[in-house]
Amino acid sequence: MAYLIPYGLEWANLLVRWLHVITGIAWIGASFYFVWLDNAIRPPAPGSELARKGVSGELWAVHGGGFYNPQKYLVAPAELPAELHWFKWEAYSTWLSGFALLTIVYYFNAQAMMVDRAVADLSSWQAVGIGLASLVLGWTVYDLLCRSRLGRHDLAFGAVVFGLLSASAWVLTHFLSGRAAYIHVGAMIGTMMVANVLMLIIPGQRKMVEAMRAGRKPDPVHGSKAKQRSVHNNYFTLPVLFIMISNHYAMTYRHEHAWAVLAAIMAAGILIRHFFNLRHKGRTEWRYPAAGVALLVAVAVAIAPPAPSGGAAAGDPAAQFAAVNVIVSQRCVACHADHPTQPGFTAAPAGVMLNTPERIHQNAARVYQQAVRLKAMPIANLTNMTDAERAQIGAWFEAGAH
């Protein structure tokens, strides 16, 4: 029955990943909508009935064949409504499913997914411990910064938090594999986001509701703190979304300055998000998306691989491929086959199979990019591919991959 364990983990990976995407869409959708709503509402006319009711802003919208008229109260309505909708389970479910996925993919297979011996020779428990510590320390430092005087100054605070995330990426890339470092920066940000909901936003809203039930006027400070953390979450979202898909792009996390690559891409996401936040307020500032796109272009240029040396030996094409075939059979086919033999893998990663000459030729460019240029494969170099073997594959490909 032991052979079914990897198969079961693969199904757990699939189902939990699906759940994570579903709950993430629900959370991000609600978050983006309410930030848009907060930016888009307009104050009522002075002396109007809405103004007398304490409404600070409203808007009219049409969607799905109906008209909507949401209103926001400056602090709270005069009376607590009988039915009040809360938005919290989307956030909690996203984090819980994300942590479960982190455990299944990374912590259950830490030697393959987290440890890169070219970076640091760690045991599985050490790697997992560093990953977990980053989540706790990230939230703790961020929360202390929010509560400090710095938290009152949005621009300075944002710059310091961005520095914190960039420094975290730098530290993690010196202990974990690039892929694991990236995903833990994302998990750190995700933890900050859900802890904002759990520790500040929902408790503050509960205090406001409790005050109304007791016949007291709610303290507006709870609303202002909740809004501040909600805005932080809004700016965190695009960096997290990039990190969620970054494992598909080894050119980023395998770069020698992977932390700087991540910092630049996160900054681009923040600038683009800021453009939309301003646009929802009626301001169009094209310099922000222009700066974000410029950053992305600069990253693409900076990490572009150098041109092949052109010094590949001509040699006998058949002999060159025979040597490459042996290397691929010894170092790659354990994972990249119809039925992988490498523990922890039940299917070929990304569906790439290299167990026949035809398949090697078909995926020649991909093998060259991942094994030679990026040295991202074999994953964690589990099969100990040597630099000489990578050079042999490179020579074959640069000579025409015949």
Q: Based on the domain organization, do 248 and 341 belong to the same domain? A: no
- Report the Cα–Cα distance between both ends of the chain, in Å, rounded: 43
Question: What does the alpha-carbon distance between residue 222 and residue 85 come to, in Å, rounded to a whole number?
Answer: 18
Q: What is the pLDDT of residue 85?
A: 87
Q: Based on the domain organization, do 223 and 267 belong to the same domain? A: yes
Q: Based on the domain organization, do 285 and 153 belong to the same domain? A: yes
Q: Based on the domain organization, do 322 and 212 belong to the same domain? A: no
Q: What is the pLDDT of residue 315?
A: 67
Q: Based on the domain organization, do 151 and 231 belong to the same domain? A: yes
Q: Based on the domain organization, do 122 and 168 belong to the same domain? A: yes
Q: Based on the domain organization, do 369 and 268 belong to the same domain? A: no
Q: What is the pLDDT of residue 308?
A: 64
Residue-range definition of the domain harbouring residue 333 = 317-398
Question: What does the alpha-carbon distance between residue 354 and residue 148 come to, in Å, rounded to a whole number?
Answer: 55
Q: What is the pLDDT of residue 3?
A: 57
Q: Based on the domain organization, do 285 and 365 belong to the same domain? A: no
Whether residue 38 is contained in a domain is answered as no
Q: Based on the domain organization, do 293 and 326 belong to the same domain? A: no
Q: Based on the domain organization, do 281 and 371 belong to the same domain? A: no
Q: How many domains does the chain contain in total? A: 2
Q: What is the pLDDT of residue 314?
A: 56
Q: Based on the domain organization, do 263 and 290 belong to the same domain? A: yes
Q: Based on the domain organization, do 344 and 199 belong to the same domain? A: no
Q: What is the pLDDT of residue 238?
A: 96
Q: What is the pTM of this model?
A: 0.86
CB atoms within 10 A of CB 369: 17
Whether residue 339 is contained in a domain is answered as yes
Whether residue 247 is contained in a domain is answered as yes
Length of the chain: 402
Cβ proximity of 178 and 258 under 8 Å = yes
**Which runs of consecutive H residues, i.e. helices, occur in 246-316?**
250-253, 258-280, 287-302
Cβ proximity of 268 and 293 under 8 Å = yes
Whether residue 380 is contained in a domain is answered as yes
Q: What is the pLDDT of residue 199?
A: 94
DSSP label at residue 332: T
- pLDDT beneath 70: ranges in the chain: 1-4, 308-315
Q: What is the pLDDT of residue 78?
A: 82
